[in-house]
Chain A
Amino acid sequence: MTDATHVDGNALGGLLIEVFGREMTDAHGCCASCGTANPLGAMRVYRGAGDVMRCPTCGNVTIVTVVIREHTRVHPAGVRWIEPAPD
């Protein structure tokens, strides 16, 4: 049996702070496919040339992050909204 190689949104914690300027693993993202809101820290993350976040409820892609020569881009590929946790 092959080990599952994916991680989760916790691994993108540092990158998300860089982009959003605040902690985001406890932000909620609403999946555009199934409509469920989940914490970004709970989303599955598949790491490759970029990082692909998938909804833990339905598996569809929610957010993709790409870093090219120190430029970070966040693609809100499959989220309806993102809401940071209240202070």
Chain B
Amino acid sequence: MARAAILRRLTWAIAELVDRTDETPRVRSLTLDVPDWPGHLPGQHLDVRLTAEDGYQAQRSYSIARPVDGNRVTITVEHLDDGEVSPYLTDVLEVGDRMELRGPIGGYFVWEPDRGGPLLLVAGGSGVAPLMAMLRERLRARNNVPVRMLLSWRSGEDVIYADELNAIARDATGVEITHTFTRSAPDGWTGRTGRLEREALAALAWTPSERPLAYVCGPTGLVEAVASALVELGHDPARVLTERFGPTGG
């Protein structure tokens, strides 16, 4: 397995915002230009550090949402009402502004094509970001590992990367994407509603005999419920990888 992008040292770098895209009313994707970026693997994250005028510092981690693209690194940030950092990133930071970051970080919650599959990618809300890096890399590398992606959203307006996911579901071979809505479904929705609980996973995930590699990311409650259910269904715990974002944004 290539480990070129798994680091030996971490230093803070000054990055410049080069693109800002609205994904949903509360979620932005930010593309940063990071000098001498060493590259990264899908699933890795970076740490952002903001310093106030009085010297107070706040630091947060954000998953990288796109595969390697030279010095360009994209993160997808959800505005949390009580957040110290996210409102600045989503609402204040403008193209041309600079910020401190370090990375790439992560070696456990990482996928690259030679890790194989089949892949089970399960996320709630903004937890989709690192899984999107994995899916985008799988497509870019023209890799044919089968993918089942299960995404849980509160409501229709919360769907991140909606157009791209629809296009992938329609056009890509070997990629199945299932959405479920837990609070309110979009108008005319005839698909799944409710949480990704054991019965849903039994119906939608690979069977344990297919030995999938599962990546589960998002709010801690969802990650633990899904990971536990997968193990109860017979999946190998060593092949159920998790990344908890903490409590939901509310």
Contact = CB atoms under 8 A, between A and B. Distances in A.
A3 B105 contact: no
B10 interface: yes
Instruction: Kindly state the interface size class of chain A when it binds its partner.
Output: 20 to 34
B158 interface: no
A24 B220 CA distance: 21
B244 to A, nearest CB: 5
Contact of B105 (A4, A14, A87): A14
A23 B246 contact: no
A8 B244 contact: yes
- Classify the secondary structure of B's interface with A: loop
Contact of A14 (B6, B10, B224, B247): B10
Contact of A40 (B8, B102, B108, B221): B108
B9 A3 contact: no
Instruction: Kindly state the interface size class of chain B when it binds its partner.
Output: 20 to 34
Nearest to A8: B244
A8 B7 contact: no
Given A39-B108, A40-B108, A11 B61 contact: yes
Contact of B224 (A4, A24, A39, A85): A4
A25 interface: yes
Contacts of B244: 4, 6-8, 10-11
Contacts of B182: none
Nearest to B245: A7
Nearest to A5: B247
A76 interface: no
Nearest to A17: B10
Interface string B55-73: 0000001000000000000
B106 interface: yes
Interface string B208-250: 0000000000011100100000000000000001111111100
List of 3 A-B pairs having minimum Cβ-Cβ separation, nearest first: A41-B108, A3-B247, A26-B107
